[in-house]
Structure 1
Amino acid sequence: MKFLVKPHLKNLDDLVDIDIEVIGNNSRREYIKKAIEEERCIVVKKENSIVGFLIFVTHFFECSFISLIIVKPTERRKGYATSLIEHFVNISPTKKIFSSTNQSNKRMQEVFKANGFTQSGYIENLDEGDPEIIYFKST
């Protein structure tokens, strides 16, 4: 059984551990901490364990922007990213929601498409040779 909640600072290490498992370092620890403190983070749990999280902002041209979706590698392809996205779409304080992923991240592109997002452009020069594709959904 999965459920979605807002995390507390006591969950910071769990979220950072998942992030480390995905990107290989803890460089986003302060970013994750700030998102928890500002209540811009949602976690998805399987039983009592956090298996993924989503971080968002609401100041992207006065629209919401999902800046990070992370799911434990062992828990992928089980609907957790979709659960996070669907929940955020339902609670979004803005009608327009944007997000992005690298052109090389085919799995995340599939997740966005499966959840009703459409491509809305791209940004060059963030990651050398791997453009960032922008996705959009209206609520």
Structure 2
Amino acid sequence: MESLIKSQLNDIDEIVNIDREVTGSDSRRKYIRKAIEEERCIVVKNEFSIVGFLIFDTHFFDCSFISLIIVKSTERRKGYATSLLEYFISISPTKKIFSSTNQSNKRMQEVFKVNGFIQSGFVENLDEGDPEIIYFKST
């Protein structure tokens, strides 16, 4: 059984550990902490622990923007990213929701597609040779 809730500060080490496992770095600790403090971080838990998280803001042309969706490597393909997206869509502070992923990240592109997001454009020059695809969904 899974549960989805806004994260608390006592979750930070577990969230940062997931981020480090996936990205190889804990350089986003301050960013994650700020998102938790501002109630912009949602976690998904299985019966044992946090298995993924989502961070959002509303600074993208006054629309919601999901800046991170990360699920533990060992827990992928179990529906956790979809659960995070569905939960966020249900509580989104804006009607328009955007997110993005690299063109090379085929798995995340599929997650967006399955969850009703559509491509809305590209941003070049963020990661050399790997454009960022912008996705959109209206609530």
**Alignment TM-score, normalising by the size of structure 1:** 0.99
Equivalent residue for 1:112?
Answer: 112
Equivalent residue for 2:67?
Answer: 67
Question: CA offset at residue 101 of structure 1?
Answer: 0.1
Greater displacement, 106-115 / 3-12: 3-12
Say whether 1:39 aligns with 2:39. Answer: yes
Percent of pairs with identical residues: 78
**C-alpha distance in 2 between matches for 1:2 and 1:45:** 5
**C-alpha distance in 2 between matches for 1:60 and 1:92:** 13
Equivalent residue for 1:23?
Answer: 23
SS in 2 for 1:134: strand
SS in 2 for 1:83: helix
**Alignment TM-score, normalising by the size of structure 2:** 0.99
CA deviations 1:60-105 (Å, max 9, x no partner) are: 1010000000000000000000000000001001000000000000
**C-alpha distance in 1 between matches for 2:7 and 2:55:** 11
**C-alpha distance in 2 between matches for 1:28 and 1:125:** 21
The 5 A counterparts of 1:1-139 are: 1-139=1-139
Can you give the 5+ residue segments of structure 1 that lack an aligned partner in the other structure?
none
Amino acid paired to 2:95: K
Provide the aligned length of Structure 1 versus Structure 2.
139
SS in 1 for 2:57: strand
Question: CA offset at residue 59 of structure 1?
Answer: 1.7
Question: CA offset at residue 27 of structure 1?
Answer: 0.8
Question: CA offset at residue 6 of structure 1?
Answer: 1.1
**C-alpha distance in 2 between matches for 1:124 and 1:6:** 32
The root-mean-square deviation of aligned C-alpha atoms, in Å, is 0.5
Structure 1 residue ranges, 4+ long, deviating more than 6 angstroms after superposition: none
Question: CA offset at residue 7 of structure 1?
Answer: 1.2
**C-alpha distance in 2 between matches for 1:128 and 1:28:** 21
